[in-house]
Amino acid sequence: MRAFAKPLAKLIEELTKMPGIGPKTGQRLAYYILQTSRENASKLAEAILEVKDKIHTCSTCNNFTDKDPCGICSDLSRDAATLAVVAEPRDVAAMERSGEFKGIYHVLQGLIAPMEGIGPEDLKIRELLERINTGIVKEVIIATNPNVEGEATAIYLSRLLKPMGVKVSRIASGIPFGGDLDYADEITINRAIEGRKEL
Amino acid sequence: MRAFAKPLAKLIEELTKMPGIGPKTGQRLAYYILQTSRENASKLAEAILEVKDKIHTCSTCNNFTDKDPCGICSDLSRDAATLAVVAEPRDVAAMERSGEFKGIYHVLQGLIAPMEGIGPEDLKIRELLERINTGIVKEVIIATNPNVEGEATAIYLSRLLKPMGVKVSRIASGIPFGGDLDYADEITINRAIEGRKEL
C-alpha cells in the first residue's frame, strides 16, 4: 500500500499488532498521533517504555505492580484470611473497581485449557498451595470466569484446596444486574435457577 | 482507581486520549503492552516518535509525507491533469487503496463547517486555486464525503473553479456495492435515483 509514507506505514503496522486493532483503527490512531502535539506523542511513547521498565509481577500474588510486594499484598488493612483466585491481572482490576472485596488475591496467570495445551503445572498453582500452607488464609473464593476453562480450573482447585482445611467458594453465576431473562442464554438461565436463594 | 500500579494507570490514561479508545480498550491495550516483548514495545514507542519527527505535510498537496514533494506529487507517471480534492489525508489513503485513480490530489485539511466556525479561509483553498492557475490541471474531481459539509464545500469549490476554465466533477453517491436497497436511508436512495445512468 503505497498510500502511506514509510514511517506512517510502520506506525500503523506496530499499532495493528495490538489486540482488537485492525487496519482501519490502526490508521485512525496513527493519524491521531500525527496530528496531536509532539508533547502528547512523547508522553505516550514514554508511558509505553515506562510500563516495560517499572512494572513486574508481585512475587506474592502475581498481579502487575511497580513495587514488591504489591500495594494490595502489603496493605495491612486488607483481610489476609480471604483470598480470591483469579486468572489474570485484569480480573484483579475488575474486582477492585467494584470496591466490595476487601481480601487479597492470587493471580493464576491463566486457566487450565487442555485444548491449548495449558495444564495445572503451567499456572501459579504450586505458589497458591504454598500460600495456603502458611495457615493465614481461611477462605479461598475462586473467581475465575464462568466458562469451560474457568469452571474446570475451579473444580481442579477445589479438590486440591478442600483437604487443606480451607473453605472454598465459587463466585455466583446468573443473570447480570440490569440484564434481561429474555436475552440470557440457556446456560445462564440454568445457572440462575440452580443458584437461587431463599428469600 | 487503586487497582492499577502508577505506570500502568499512566499508560492507560495516555492510551485513552486517542479517539475511540475508552477505558476498557485502553486497559486491554495496556495489558498487551505489558505482556508483549520489550522489543515490540520499543518498536511501537519508536514508531510513534519517528512519525512525529519525519512526517510533515507535502507543500504541494498537503498530504502527509516523509519527503517534499510527496511520492504522489513527484511521480511523473501520474496524470497531473486530473486532480482529486479531498478533505483529509486519510481520504487520499482510501482512494489509493482502490487503485483506480491515477491522477494527483489536493488535501483541503477540512471541510467548510459554519456550525464549527470553519470557513473557506481555514482550508487550503487559496493553495488549490494557485495550483489550478498554473494551467496543468484540466479536471477537478471533488471527492469530499457526501454529507452536509462535504456537499457545501463541493458547491463552494465548483463556483470558484468553473470560471477558471477547468472541468469540475463530483464523485457519485448512491447504494454502496454489495449494499442493500432495503437497508439504505432515504437520502442515499434518492441520490441513487438522481444519479441513475442509462444502460
Query: Which cell is B151 given?
Result: 456537499
Query: B89-98 vs A23-35: helix axis angle to the nearest 10?
Result: 150
pLDDT at res. B175: 83
What global pTM score does this model have? 0.78
pLDDT at res. A172: 87
| C-alpha distance from residue B79 to each of A96, B35, B102, B136 (Å) | 60, 48, 6, 10
pLDDT at res. A178: 80
The 10s digit of each residue's pLDDT in B62-115 is: 999 999 999 999 999 999 999 999 999 989 988 888 888 899 999 999 999 999
pLDDT at res. A1: 40
The partner residue sitting opposite A7, judged by closest CB among B11, B27, B51, is B51
The partner residue sitting opposite B49, judged by closest CB among A28, A45, A97, is A45
Q: Which chain B residues are within 8 Å of A30, Cβ to Cβ?
A: 51
pLDDT at res. B2: 62
The partner residue sitting opposite A51, judged by closest CB among B8, B66, B88, is B8
DSSP string, B57-126: E-TTT--EESSSS-TTTT-TTSEEEEEEEESSHHHHHHHHHH----EEEEE-SS--BGGGTB-GGGTTHH
Average pLDDT over residues B47-60: 95
The partner residue sitting opposite A52, judged by closest CB among B21, B41, B67, is B41
The answer to whether A1 faces chain B, any CB pair under 8 Å, is yes
Q: Which chain B residues are within 8 Å of A70, Cβ to Cβ?
A: 5
Q: Where in the sequence is the domain holding B109, given as residue range(s)?
A: 64-198
Nearest CA in chain A to B16: A44
Same domain, residue pair B88 and B160 = yes
| Residue B80's CATH number | 3.40.1360.10
Residue B1 within any structural domain of the chain: no
- The minimum CA-CA distance between B105 and chain A, rounded to whole Å, is 12
Q: Which chain B residues are within 8 Å of A38, Cβ to Cβ?
A: 52
Same domain, residue pair A46 and A74 = no
pLDDT at res. A2: 62
Residue with more model confidence, B1 or B130? B130
Share of chain B above pLDDT 70, in %: 98
Same domain, residue pair B77 and B119 = yes
CB A171 within 8 A of CB A143: yes
Question: Which letter does DSSP use for residue A193 in this model?
Answer: H
| Pairwise CB contact (< 8 Å): B45 & A45 | yes
Same domain, residue pair B22 and B117 = no
pLDDT at res. A65: 95
Residue A1 within any structural domain of the chain: no
- Scan residues 58-117 of B and list those with Cβ closer than 8 Å to A: 64-67, 70-71, 88-90, 92-93, 95-97
Residue B58 has pLDDT above 50, yes or no: yes
Same domain, residue pair A135 and A185 = yes
The residue ranges of chain A whose pLDDT is under 70 are 1-2, 199
DSSP string, A73-104: TT-TTSEEEEEEEESSHHHHHHHHHH----EE
The 10s digit of each residue's pLDDT in B140-156 is: 999 999 889 999 999 99
Residue B197 has pLDDT above 80, yes or no: no
Query: Which cell is A85 given?
Result: 483466585
Same domain, residue pair A157 and A134 = yes
Q: How many domains does chain B have?
A: 2
Mean pLDDT estimate for chain B? 92
pLDDT-based confidence at residue B191 (cuts at 50, 70, 90): confident
ipTM of the complex: 0.78
pLDDT at res. B107: 97
Q: Which chain B residues are within 8 Å of A7, Cβ to Cβ?
A: 47, 50-51, 53-55, 66
CA neighbours within 13 Å on the CB side: how many for A41?
21
The 10s digit of each residue's pLDDT in A166-192 is: 999 988 888 888 878 788 888 888 888
Residue B198 has pLDDT above 80, yes or no: no
**Quick count: other Cβ atoms within 10 Å of Cβ A76?**
5
Same domain, residue pair A15 and A103 = no
Same domain, residue pair B50 and B88 = no
Residue B59 within any structural domain of the chain: no
